[in-house]
Amino acid sequence: MNELVFDLEAEKKEILKRYRALLKACKPTLQKGDKSMVRHAFDISLEAHKDMRRKSGEPYIYHPIAVAQIAAEEIGLGTTSVVCALLHDVVEDTSITLEDIENEFGKKVAKIIDGLTKISGVLDYNSSLQAENFRKMLLTLADDVRVILIKLADRLHNMRTMDYMPREKQLKIASETIYLYAPLAHRLGLYSMKSELEDLSMKYTEPETYKFIARKLNEKKAERELYIQSFIGPIEDILREQGFKASVYGRPKSIHSIWNKIKKKGIPFEEVYDLFAIRIILDSKLENEKADCWKAYSIVTDLYRPNPDRLRDWVSSPKANGYESLHTTVMGPKGQWVEVQIRTQRMNEIAKKGFAAHWKYKESSSDSGLDQWIQKVRDLLKSPDSNALDFLDDFKMNLFSDEIFIFTPKGELMQLPANATALDFAFEIHSDLGARCIGAKVNHKLVPLSHKLQNGDQVEIITSTKQTPKEDWLNFVVTAKARSKIKSNLKEEKRRIAENGKELLERKLKSLKITYNTENISKICNYLKFPSTLDLFFAIATGEIDLKNLKDFQASEKSSENKVPERNENSHIEGIFNKVKSKDNDTLLIGEDLQKIDYKLSSCCNPIPGDDVFGFLTINDGIKIHRTNCPNSTKLMANYGYRVIKAKWTSQKELAFLTGLRIKGIDDLGLINKLTTVISNDFKVNMRSITVDSSDGIFEGSIMIYVNDKQHLEDLIKKITQIKGITSVVRFDSDKKTQQGA
């Protein structure tokens, strides 16, 4: 890039301005000597990054300053974290080493920077680089939670400034964010950050829906603000009369949470009632907090009738991430339900700044649920043979879950995620207790292992020395601890049984005069289509395969034309990549003129021409084409970014693609006839299947049809919507949520 294009003098002023804003944000936590330490870190970072620029053309130093600003202002972290944020990229991107950092700033800063430095090295095709990266980050979390908090600040700034990235990079980073970083922010109690990360991810993964909801919210903004004012006016008056110092305001819900509601309830935007929440923040002394929150609740529910099923009390029992608040939904003017959140200033700071604020108030709170959670992360990381991706799936499951409170027979309180079972509870107490569990008594009544626990249950575990973990246990446990212990127990058992299979195979090979060595075992594995030797030995031991099949293997080996060279997965994957890349500018073209590259349209989302799609390289099935908003795409892009291939449609008016429509309406005579007339006659579209269900005057149908492309489908939907009695027409993904390529 030609430096003459940049106004270096103006940039210098801007850098200084941003640095001063950072110092201002640090002010509340600055101690003696801290200012010069921050200045020193800034100088080193400025010098180290002086010749670097971001994709937007801006000086690179803007990024570390912004990350430090988020750490100080939005998370409330102190000087050590600000220094680490300023230096978080220097070790990886410049000639400065960890030793240099340690000499200048001490061991603590060097350790945090080490945790923040990404793994570099060879890409391992069998596991996800991102998953390993994340695992390393969590290992450092076990020592210092600031690593994760700075990493979240780094991710938030990258998401805020992602417009200049290429589309496939945007998709990968956004998927990784929604899959892991947003749940992590949620778990660490950083609610506003979690919402922003979700919204920004959606902006890139589902741009059309994002813009649509943003536009709709904007259209109704003035009307909404008037309603909020009329709702909160009476509340403010009574709070003032009763001597409360409080601020009451309306807060719009995030675009992502509105989209979730639309999907979950299957309703149009117009029918989402809770587009905002009312927040009451009380200025209370610590000892009066609980009583004041309930007094405010009483004032609100005297004015507006509450929905008894929608009271959430996190003041008496805070969430595991320290969140405290009282939530209720009340019937406001014009017959509209309104969510009201009541909390004190201290609780509000914890809700905004999560873990960092929690530390600040730690002396006043009992043993933090977050400390217990971090202890659980440590335990999980100790699991000897857990694969990084399994670990991530198990770990992620426990990030977003709400908690329930369960009592032991002696009356001790334990926290578990919602939907936890009696078996989860057993594993939570002790791994051995879980492994030997045969049932439980919940509130003195006998229940099976899979029994889902309710808030406040008292649980006693029943065990037997003869019990061992079973495969089907994985279908109903929800805690990461239970899953990882069951998996490692099953693996151990499988290994034990596989030993017998190994001996049987050795004997059989001897009789066939085939040498027992790694190469031959690997060939047999490939021939019999087993993913690993352990699976092969296990299948032999359990009688799943007949050793007589080995004669066929021997015959195929002897026949030279059938002799298959041992398949090397890495070169196989690279081969397909190169095949694609040598063609049209590394983009896979999908269409009738495709250059002999094997691809399939994925059945989990049935993409059609015009959909935003990507190619995903599976191990055994060639390239699968997925829609970017497919139910599985987030996981695939977050965990296997290196296997994602850009893909676009070529013109194809002649081909037909299968897709599904879900139609709802008011049951009327001849409605199906009208529907099939529009589909078959007016649009000349072929139907593969139609299922109709009608009850109590409501008609619901699912139709699988063949269309040419997205525009063709949209025109058809428009036409069906115009049929009298039809209330909604929605395209749906295949009901099979199959996961490809893992």
Note the helical H segments in 72-144: 79-87, 90-93, 98-105, 107-116, 129-141
Give the pairing type, strands 403-407 and 698-707. unpaired
- Asked if residue 75 has pLDDT above 80, the reply is yes
pLDDT reported for residue 684:
73
Q: DSSP of 557-608, one letter per residue?
A: HHSGGG-PPPP-HHHHHHHHHHHHHTTTTT-EEESTT--S--EEE-TTT---
| pLDDT tens column, 286-310 | 899 999 999 999 999 999 999 888 8
- Asked if residue 614 has pLDDT above 90, the reply is no
| pLDDT tens column, 301-347 | 999 999 888 899 999 888 877 789 999 999 998 888 899 999 999 99
Report the SS3 class of residue 452.
strand
| pLDDT tens column, 21-66 | 999 988 888 888 888 999 999 999 999 888 888 888 889 999 999 9
- Asked if residue 424 has pLDDT above 90, the reply is yes
Q: Is 503 a catalytic residue?
A: no
- Asked if residue 371 has pLDDT above 80, the reply is no
Q: DSSP of 383-425, one letter per residue?
A: -TT--HHHHHHHHHHTTSPPEEEEE-TT--EEEEETT-BHHHH
Instruction: Please give the structure tokens belonging to residue 239.
Output: 């709070």
pLDDT category at 148 given cuts 50, 70, 90 is confident
Strands (E) in 650-713, as ranges, are 657-666, 686-695, 698-707
Q: What's the rounded mean pLDDT across residues 186-212?
A: 90
Task: Tell me the C-alpha distance between 352 and 343, whole Å.
Answer: 12
Neighbours of 132 (CB within 10 A): 17
Q: Is 92 a catalytic residue?
A: yes
* 6-15, 141-150, 214-223, 628-637, range with greatest mean pLDDT: 214-223
pLDDT reported for residue 228:
92
Of 142-146, 208-212, 381-385, 703-707, least confident by mean pLDDT is 381-385
Task: Tell me the C-alpha distance between 521 and 701, whole Å.
Answer: 52
Of 68-82, 251-265, 506-520, least confident by mean pLDDT is 506-520
Neighbours of 727 (CB within 10 A): 12
Query: CB neighbours of 625 closer than 8 A, spacing ≥ 6?
Result: 590, 599, 600, 601, 602, 607, 613, 614, 615, 616, 647
- Asked if residue 384 has pLDDT above 70, the reply is no
Higher model confidence: residue 35 or residue 136? Answer: 35
Task: Tell me the C-alpha distance between 431 and 594, whole Å.
Answer: 54
Higher model confidence: residue 86 or residue 352? Answer: 86
| pLDDT tens column, 680-734 | 777 777 887 888 887 777 888 888 888 888 888 888 888 888 888 888 888 886 5
pLDDT reported for residue 383:
58
Q: Helices 480-511 and 388-397: crossing angle, nearest 10°? A: 150
pLDDT reported for residue 593:
47
Among 285, 286, 262, 284, which residue's Cα sits nearest to residue 275? Answer: 262
Q: Give the whole-number percent of the chain exceeding pLDDT 70.
A: 80
Cβ-contact 422, 431 below 8 angstroms: no
Task: Tell me the C-alpha distance between 262 and 734, whole Å.
Answer: 19
First to last CA, the chain: 41
Task: Tell me the C-alpha distance between 237 and 334, whole Å.
Answer: 21
pLDDT category at 571 given cuts 50, 70, 90 is low
pLDDT category at 7 given cuts 50, 70, 90 is confident
- Asked if residue 17 has pLDDT above 90, the reply is yes
Of 435-439, 464-468, 567-571, 660-664, least confident by mean pLDDT is 567-571
Higher model confidence: residue 399 or residue 198? Answer: 198
- Asked if residue 438 has pLDDT above 60, the reply is yes
Task: Tell me the C-alpha distance between 426 and 437, whole Å.
Answer: 7
Among 93, 471, 492, 506, the one annotated catalytic: 93
CA 136 to chain centre: 18
pLDDT reported for residue 664:
87
pLDDT reported for residue 612:
84
Among 10, 26, 23, 22, which residue's Cα sits nearest to residue 59? Answer: 10
**pLDDT averaged over every residue in the chain:** 80
Among 47, 92, 225, 544, the one annotated catalytic: 92
